[in-house]
Each structure stands twice: as structure tokens, then as C-alpha cells.
């Protein structure tokens, strides 16, 4: 156990306790006190639906804390890997997974029937965008349907999947009630707690990242708070699930807007022949009122490109234009295209072009030191370059193969790639990249992440974004 997990949970004021008490909720058809006791003494059985980047680490932490965990994973291959103790999530070493699998603290199933007999069910399924670019809640809806088929009085359901305010109460709750015939806040409990995991982050993990929890009745909130206190050092209760959903939307909109701003600054500085990195370094010396964000080739992953769209979409449904959020999302979405145009300008300076020059992209995952390629800007760049007929290849130490359009591409040998390239685009700042060596072996480098700045010297063959 980490030191953080051993320190006592930090208590925050309970937003519903001034207006409600458990005793004031005589309508409950089961003993919430008994459920709270089972959670506190770890005899409660926990279900985790969706064993991906969010669900698997949570399931492992719960198992390590002493709970018996039932994982539901529709991907048969993932369920089998989990049960064999072979981790498919970088932040969870297989040895750590095996400590809970081999002690029967975690078992994965592909059918929701296995959730019968669980006390608390946590939903960690994807919330993507559909083909129309709008929120696609099919996995949340399918999970609610699956859970409703086994739902019994006394169970608590907690949604963690990121979504717009109203998802828990307006989408999950009606499905759970209609299909089970049970009533929320009477027969079963329902809460929302946004997931804040940052894959690859070694400093902030499940233990020491405060957990926000919201529910619209006191019993649901009490149970959810008690549940997370078993594995998280600080739990922050808020007054309803919509507030908790909005907290996550705000956090990710905050990032998207600030990244959008520095990306726009990068383009503007390029236009004005200024060095954006020098501008930012100087600006960030201000000790108050500013927070460092840096430009890059765009935003990727499951959250920053997707969540602002969830928020702005919901706002629009309610007749409100989230102009700032939309504009940031658009600016970030257009960055890969802008980087490609800059590659074109650099090639032209060499007497080459996007169609004649050899272009190598270093790093195709959306962030450093992870293999996750969802919504990854470097892949959008490769797609655009291919459409233009460019000679483009890539290297990534974490990714062997990517899908580009209808085809596939394999990671090239780094030495061969550098030797053959007219321009190398450093797209993902993986820690293992030896930038001095890469610069030495490359004809020209476009450094979109500012990785070469740490050497504090000017390289003739390096251009910063």
C-alpha cells in the first residue's frame, strides 16, 4: 500500500446532511446501515462494469483493499486476459493484477448475471462520439440494461463514465427503474463519481486523487462516499449527480480551452515570426494568475477531444451556446492540419515538398509513454499526409501497428527512419526518445513538443512548433 492510502480519509462537509438525514428517509426498502457496514468492513461484493483504462485499475485497487470484485467486460479477450493475470493496461503491471486474481479477489465475466449478489456496481464504460459527432451513450445504456436485469433491493449503482449533466438521472435511472420495476432512492441507490485517472501519471493515482461524488438522495450519497473512502484518501461530496457530472465537464473544458489558447498562440506567433516558447516561458514567470499549458500537435485520448463536445452538445439542447468551449475544440481539432502545413513549408525551404519529401513521424500515441492511440493527432497527420500522396512513415516504441484509413501501417526501425527522412516530426514526447541522438541523425526535425528545449542550445536543423 502507498503511504497515501494509509493516511486517514480527509472529510468534507456533506452537502445533503443539513437538509436530510438517513432517519428522514423511511421509504428505503432495505437497511442502508447494513450496506454501509459491509462496505466499511470490506465484506461488500463490488461489481465493476468495463475493465479498461479506468475500470481495471479501480478493480485492482478494490481487490487490494480487501473487497471481492466481479468484473464485467464484454470484450472476451480482455476478460480472459484479466483472469489469466495478463494486464493489457500499461499502468497495471501483470504482477499487480495477479496479486488480486490469484487470491480470488478479482474475477472477470462477460455476462451481467455475475453481478447478482453484488452490493455496489461501478460503471466504467466508454462514452464516445457517434458517427454524427454527437455524444454516443450506447455503452452506458447497455450497462444500465444489463444491471437492471439483475438489480435487487439494496444494491447501489455508481456511474463513473464521463458524460454531460443529467446522464445519471435522465438516462441511466429511467432504464434501471423501468426494466427492474424497482424505484431509485427506495429500492436501489444511484450516484455519479467522475473518473479523474491520468494514464501514465506516476505521481497521482487512484489513492491520492480526490474523488468527487454526487447523488440526489442522502442514502445514495452516504453509500458512495463510504465506498470511495475505502480506496481514496479524499472524497468530495457534492449536492447532486448533475453537479458531479458538471465538475468533470468543467475540468476537461478547462484543459481544452487552455490548450486551445496556447495552440492559437503558437499559430499567431508563427504568423508574427515570434517564438511562442520564449513568449510562454516569460509569461509563466508570473507567480500568480497564470498556469502553464504548452502547444502541441492537437489533443487526443478519450477525454479532451470528446468531453467538451458532450458539454457543448447538452448546452445547445438547452438553448445555450457554449461558444468558448466549441471554439477551443475546433482550434485543437485543426492543429494536426496546421502542423502538416508547417511540415510543407519546411520541406519547401529544402527545395522539396509534401509530395516529394520523406516524412517520419516520431510517436503516434496521443500522449507520452502510453500506447493509447485513441483520437491521436499524429495519426490524423499521417492520414492527411497519405491523402496528399506523401511518403510518410512512423516510429513509436509503444505502438507496433496503427490503422490509417482502410489500411494499416507498422512502426519503422528508428535508425532506418531517421536515416531516410527529409524531415522528422517529433509528435509525441516519449521519455525514451534520446533527442540529442535524434537531432544528430536527422536532416531536419520539427519539434512539436518543445522536447529539444531542455538542452538550452540552438540546433540549426531543429524547428520548434
Please pick, from the candidates 75, 96, 281, 383, the single residue that binds ligand NAD as defined by CB under 6 A.
Answer: 75
Query: Residue 139: CB partners within 8 Å, gap ≥ 6?
Result: 50, 125, 126, 127, 128, 161
Alpha-carbon distance 446 to 462, whole Å?
6
Question: Looking at beta carbons only, is 53 or 293 nearer to ligand NAD?
Answer: 53
Confirm if 377 and 296 have CB atoms less than 8 A apart.
yes
Question: Looking at beta carbons only, is 229 or 302 nearer to ligand NAD?
Answer: 302
Q: Which of 447, 167, 144, 204 is nearest to 307 (CA)?
A: 167
Q: What are phi and psi of 423, to 5 degrees?
A: -145, 135
Please pick, from the candidates 154, 199, 300, 308, the single residue that binds ligand NAD as defined by CB under 6 A.
Answer: 199
Residue 341 grid coordinates = 502545413
CB 127 → ligand NAD: shortest distance, Å?
4
Does the footprint of ligand NAD cover residue 187 (CB under 6 A)?
A: no
CB 409 → ligand NAD: shortest distance, Å?
22
Q: What are phi and psi of 153, to 5 degrees?
A: -55, 135
Please pick, from the candidates 55, 296, 305, 378, the single residue that binds ligand NAD as defined by CB under 6 A.
Answer: 55
Alpha-carbon distance 93 to 86, whole Å?
8
Question: Looking at beta carbons only, is 30 or 109 nearer to ligand NAD?
Answer: 109
Does the footprint of ligand NAD cover residue 167 (CB under 6 A)?
A: no
CB 54 → ligand NAD: shortest distance, Å?
3
Q: Please, which of residues 270-309 interact with ligand NAD by CB under 6 A?
A: 302-303
Does the footprint of ligand NAD cover residue 74 (CB under 6 A)?
A: yes
Stretch that binds ligand NAD, among 137-145, 381-389, 403-411, 434-442 (CB under 6 A): 137-145
Helix and strand totals (H; E) in the chain: 15, 17
Stretch that binds ligand NAD, among 22-30, 53-61, 230-238, 378-386 (CB under 6 A): 53-61
Alpha-carbon distance 127 to 303, whole Å?
9
Site string for ligand NAD, 380-419 (x = CB under 6 A): ----------------------------------------
Please pick, from the candidates 143, 193, 428, 448, the single residue that binds ligand NAD as defined by CB under 6 A.
Answer: 143
Query: Residue 434: CB partners within 8 Å, gap ≥ 6?
Result: none
Tell me the number of residues near ligand NAD by CB under 6 A: 26
Confirm if 163 and 137 have CB atoms less than 8 A apart.
yes
Site string for ligand NAD, 76-105 (x = CB under 6 A): --x---------------------------
Eight-class DSSP state of 366: S
CB 197 → ligand NAD: shortest distance, Å?
5
Does the footprint of ligand NAD cover residue 125 (CB under 6 A)?
A: yes
Confirm if 14 and 237 have CB atoms less than 8 A apart.
yes
CA distance to 72, 86, 88, 111, 113, per residue, from 80 (Å): 11, 9, 11, 13, 17
Q: What are phi and psi of 315, to 5 degrees?
A: -60, -45
CB 59 → ligand NAD: shortest distance, Å?
11
Residue ranges in contact with ligand NAD by CB under 6 A: 49-55, 72-75, 78, 124-127, 139, 142-143, 161-162, 195, 197, 199, 302-303
Amino acid at each position: 500500500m502507498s503511504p497515501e492510502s494509509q493516511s486517514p480519509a480527509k472529510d468534507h462537509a456533506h452537502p445533503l446532511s443539513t437538509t436530510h438525514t438517513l432517519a428522514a428517509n423511511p421509504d428505503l426498502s432495505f437497511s442502508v446501515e447494513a450496506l454501509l457496514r459491509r462496505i466499511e468492513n470490506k465484506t461488500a461484493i463490488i461489481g465493476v462494469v468495463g475493465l479498461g483504462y479506468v475500470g481495471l485499475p479501480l478493480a485492482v485497487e478494490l481487490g487490494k483493499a480487501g473487497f471481492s470484485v466481479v468484473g464485467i467486460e464484454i470484450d472476451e479477450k480482455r476478460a480472459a486476459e484479466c483472469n489469466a493475470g495478463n494486464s493489457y493496461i500499461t499502468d497495471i503491471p501483470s504482477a499487480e493484477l495477479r496479486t488480486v486474481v490469484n487470491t480470488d479477489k478479482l474475477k472477470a465475466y462477460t455476462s451481467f448475471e455475475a453481478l447478482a449478489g453484488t452490493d455496489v456496481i461501478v460503471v466504467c464504460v466508454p462514452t464516445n462520439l457517434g458517427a454524427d459527432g454527437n455524444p454516443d451513450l450506447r455503452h452506458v445504456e447497455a450497462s444500465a440494461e444489463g444491471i437492471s436485469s439483475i438489480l435487487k433491493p439494496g444494491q447501489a449503482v455508481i456511474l463513473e463514465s464521463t458524460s454531460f449533466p443529467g446522464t445519471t438521472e435522465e438516462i441511466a435511472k429511467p432504464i434501471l427503474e423501468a426494466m427492474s420495476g424497482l424505484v431509485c432512492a427506495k429500492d436501489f441507490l444511484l450516484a455519479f463519481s467522475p473518473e479523474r485517472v491520468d494514464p501514465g501519471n506516476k505521481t497521482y493515482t487512484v489513492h491520492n486523487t480526490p474523488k468527487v461524488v454526487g447523488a440526489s438522495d442522502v442514502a445514495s450519497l452516504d453509500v458512495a462516499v463510504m465506498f470511495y473512502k475505502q480506496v481514496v484518501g479524499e472524497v468530495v461530496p457534492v449536492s447532486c449527480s448533475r453537479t458531479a457530472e458538471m465538475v468533470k465537464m468543467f475540468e476537461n473544458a478547462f484543459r481544452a480551452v487552455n490548450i486551445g489558447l496556447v495552440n492559437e498562440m503558437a499559430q499567431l506567433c508563427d504568423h508574427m515570426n515570434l517564438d511562442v516558447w520564449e513568449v510562454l516561458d516569460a509569461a509563466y514567470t508570473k507567480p500568480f494568475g497564470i498556469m502553464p499549458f504548452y502547444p502541441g500537435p492537437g489533443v487526443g485520448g478519450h477525454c479532451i477531444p470528446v468531453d467538451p463536445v458532450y458539454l457543448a452538445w447538452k448546452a445547445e439542447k438547452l438553448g445555450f451556446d457554449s461558444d468558448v468551449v466549441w471554439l477551443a475544440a475546433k482550434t485543437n481539432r485543426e492543429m494536426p492540419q496546421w502542423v502538416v502545413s508547417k511540415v510543407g513549408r519546411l520541406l519547401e525551404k529544402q527545395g522539396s515538398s509534401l509530395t516529394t519529401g520523406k516524412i517520419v513521424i516520431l510517436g503516434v500515441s496521443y500522449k507520452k509513454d502510453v500506447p493509447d492511440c485513441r483520437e491521436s493527432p499524429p495519426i490524423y497527420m499521417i492520414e492527411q499526409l497519405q491523402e496528399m500522396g506523401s511518403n510518410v512513415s512512423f516510429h513509436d516504441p509503444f505502438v507496433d501497428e496503427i490503422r490509417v484509413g482502410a489500411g494499416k501501417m507498422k512502426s519503422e526501425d528508428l535508425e532506418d527512419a531517421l536515416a531516410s527522412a527529409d524531415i522528422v516530426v517529433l509528435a509525441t514526447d516519449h521519455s525514451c526518445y534520446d533527442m540529442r541522438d535524434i537531432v544528430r541523425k536527422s536532416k531536419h526535425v520539427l519539434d512539436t513538443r518543445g522536447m529539444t528545449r531542455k538542452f538550452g542550445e540552438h540546433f540549426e536543423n531543429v524547428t520548434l512548433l
